[in-house]
Structure 1
Amino acid sequence: MIIHVFNSQQELNQAGAGIITALIQTKPDAVLGLATGGTPVGIYEELVKNYNAARVSFRHAKSFNLDEYVGLPDGHSESYRTYMNHHLFDHVDIQMEETHVPNGNADDVDEECEEYDAMMADAGQVDLQILGIGHNGHIGFNEPGRELTAGTHRVELKAETREANARYFPSIDEVPTHAITMGIASIMKAKQIILIVRGADKAEIVERALFGPITTDCPASLLQAHPNLVVLLDNEAGSGLIEQ
């Protein structure tokens, strides 16, 4: 595990984008595991800058997103497909057919999950997986519990997760109750994982995830077992690690 703590958001964003850019420069057909939410937005902005400056091309890359809400209409402003198009895909030269986000409106969600895993297997091992972390330690939408699911699956979102995401919707009643998410095994298969965390409100769960016991009650704690984990924190998120 390598941990970097940054004094500014800009430094964190540039570092994250730099890792991804360097990967694609050395392996143009890299398979990227992408995340959504507020955490990676600045990194995607820096990637677009790198593309516009001709430092990187995504033409031969593939991407697989961690998750998607179940039941949002196609084109909904808060769907993760819309998010990815808006923040990255529409601004670089990646081939849209090589960008993959689970279909939250599939007629058969379980079948969609199986097909998503099959597409990932066909693409080969994910070279780099971007992750954030929830206040309860979830990664993707793998919520704390007595057991965790290995492959892509449908999950019921916990109340605290829906409350955390309510800021993106007119009311909490409009936050979906279910999502499709990559499973823990799918995430852990990536060659490299970048965990990105911002804010003092995440300091406690960061310390627990990185230095506490490995337990399904904190899914992010399983990342301690990954052989190539890079953690990018701002000063606030890293404040609990000073004595580690």
Structure 2
Amino acid sequence: MNLATALRPSPETRRTFDRLVVESFAARAEMGAAAAADIAAALAGLLGKQANVRMVFAAAPSQADMLAALCAVPGIDWNRVTAFHMDEYIGLSPSSPARFGNWLDQHVFGRLPFAAVHRITPEPDAAAEIRRYSDLLNEAPIDFVCLGIGVNGHIAFNDPPVADFSDPLDVKIVELDDICRQQQVDDECFPDLASVPREAVTLTVPRLVRAGRMFCVVPGRVKRDAVSKTLHGPLTTECPASILRTHAACTLYIDKDSDPDA
């Protein structure tokens, strides 16, 4: 047992919805620490069995506690880990702090010695970037995905109007719905709705759920309705995150504010 596992906070409740394991914590910091401990343990276990690990990260304030805790875990051979991210805006300046690649540079990519970091770079040709990124993703299996859930139930930028559980593509251009765009304002990533791009490049739902293991971190009262629909609603693209209930190895980490049953 490593130090992170030994110090892992215990959830207040642990239950299962279909195949999805849900752990609910008293506080956001405990939720993030527990998710980080589980990711670290999974990394250590897999690196003991194979030469390299490939993982995808979400960029959002909801992930900050988990990423901070993960970066602090000692003893992980990050030099054998290749990192991807799952979505990026189209039309933002490469230097914009709201750009997801830049957010991840600050919170994880720039803090750990990864073997490689593959960033989505939509300019100057988003269609060419989709082909390039799809090829990179398909060079070998994706072992882990670290993600969140949007207020409209999206995973990555698969909003309800564009989410497709049978999508033939791995990466695509999507139009963002206004609920998703408003969330970016509410998260203080943009000053107003007009500043939020209308299009983005995203990994599709099937590409995400093909990962060997998924760690989904969703704190905050604003996410409570989305979590409720994920757990209690039908399996539908009206709540794209509901697909997580079908994954063989996904854990959802929530806090008392996002827990609809608390």
Whether the TM-score (by the shorter chain) exceeds 0.5 is yes
CA RMSD of aligned residues (A): 1.5
Tell me the CA shift for residue 194 of structure 1: 1.3
Which of these residues, 157, 176, 180, is aligned with residue 176 of structure 2? 157
Instruction: State the alpha-carbon separation in 2 of the partners of residues 84 and 168 from structure 1.
Output: 13
1:119 aligns with 2:136: yes
Cα distance change of structure 1 residues 147 and 46 upon mapping to structure 2, 3 Å threshold? closer
Kindly provide the amino acid, as one letter, of the partner of residue 65 in structure 2: G
1:19 aligned residue: 38
1:80 aligns with 2:100: yes
Q: Which runs of 5+ in 1 are unaligned?
A: none
Kindly provide the amino acid, as one letter, of the partner of residue 76 in structure 2: V
Q: Count residues with an aligned counterpart.
A: 234
Instruction: State the alpha-carbon separation in 1 of the partners of residues 261 and 178 from structure 2.
Output: 28
Instruction: State the alpha-carbon separation in 1 of the partners of residues 197 and 144 from structure 2.
Output: 28
Identity among equivalent positions (%) equals 25
1:209-228 paired onto structure 2 within 5 Å: 209-228=230-249
Kindly provide the amino acid, as one letter, of the partner of residue 203 in structure 1: R
Tell me the CA shift for residue 220 of structure 1: 0.9
Instruction: State the alpha-carbon separation in 2 of the partners of residues 226 and 48 from structure 1.
Output: 26
Kindly provide the amino acid, as one letter, of the partner of residue 161 in structure 2: G
**For 1:63-117, what per-residue CA distance to the aligned partner results, in whole angstroms no more than 9, with x for missing partners?**
111101111111211111111111112222113xx11121122x32122112211
1:46 aligns with 2:85: no
Instruction: State the alpha-carbon separation in 1 of the partners of residues 198 and 248 from structure 2.
Output: 34
The answer as to whether partners of 2:39 and 2:215 remain within 8 angstroms in 1 is no
Tell me the CA shift for residue 192 of structure 1: 0.9
Kindly provide the amino acid, as one letter, of the partner of residue 98 in structure 2: E
Q: Following TM superposition, where does structure 1 have runs of at least 4 consecutive aligned residues deviating by more than 6 angstroms?
A: none
TM-score, length basis structure 1: 0.91
Kindly provide the amino acid, as one letter, of the partner of residue 95 in structure 2: G
Q: Which runs of 5+ in 2 are unaligned?
A: 1-19
Kindly provide the amino acid, as one letter, of the partner of residue 138 in structure 1: H
Instruction: State the alpha-carbon separation in 2 of the partners of residues 13 and 198 from structure 1.
Output: 9
